[in-house]
Amino acid sequence: MPPSAPRTRAAAALRMKQIALDNQDHTIRRLRAQLAIERRGLAATKKELEEMQVALEASHKVIAGLTEIGLSMSKKIENMKVKKHLVRANHVECHQKFQARIHETEDSMQAQHLLIEALVDEKDSLLQTIHGLQEANNAPAPFDDDWEEEPEEEPEEEEIEDIPLGEGEIDDE
């Protein structure tokens, strides 16, 4: 005796929902991997920013020392002012670039986190729908009743401080 059409349709619908869940699981794993890569990139960017800050502070100290030594000669003072202006412009430019990269990465991580949450919610909804269809059709459960959900990971959000532009500046006087 061939299976009834409603039961076959229900089985096909369940299979399609299972395929959708499998695809979502794959997408979630891929997004989590991308999120981990973004986090590593953010950590590397933060380290670069810290190294650049140390280098810039050292540069400011060198300029301050040279300015102090060259106070007696007006030509050297003018040269040092020009160098100081270029370093400041470079400092501001680097600061702005790193801050933009940090904010862009944070926004990307936030968007990926929201997408993962939406996918997890949709997955839960699909699982409830499948369960409801199974109960309605008295079909055997294709999933183990001891379904173990992956623990939801809370990303450790690190606060990255904006570096004040005034820090490490040299006084013109």
Residue 50 pLDDT exceeds 90: yes
Instruction: Pick 144 or 114 by higher pLDDT.
Output: 114
pLDDT for the residue numbered 117? 94
pLDDT for the residue numbered 96? 93
Contact between 124 and 131 under an 8 Å Cβ cutoff? The reply is no
Residue the block writes with tokens 């040279």? 66
Contact between 80 and 93 under an 8 Å Cβ cutoff? The reply is no
To the nearest 10°, report the CA torsion of 96, 98, 102, 104.
60
pLDDT for the residue numbered 173? 46
The CATH number given to 5-137 is: 1.10.287
For helices 5-69 and 74-137, angle between their N-to-C axes, nearest 10 degrees? 170
Q: Amino acid identity, residue 149?
A: E
pLDDT for the residue numbered 4? 62
Six-digit token string for 169? 């500046």
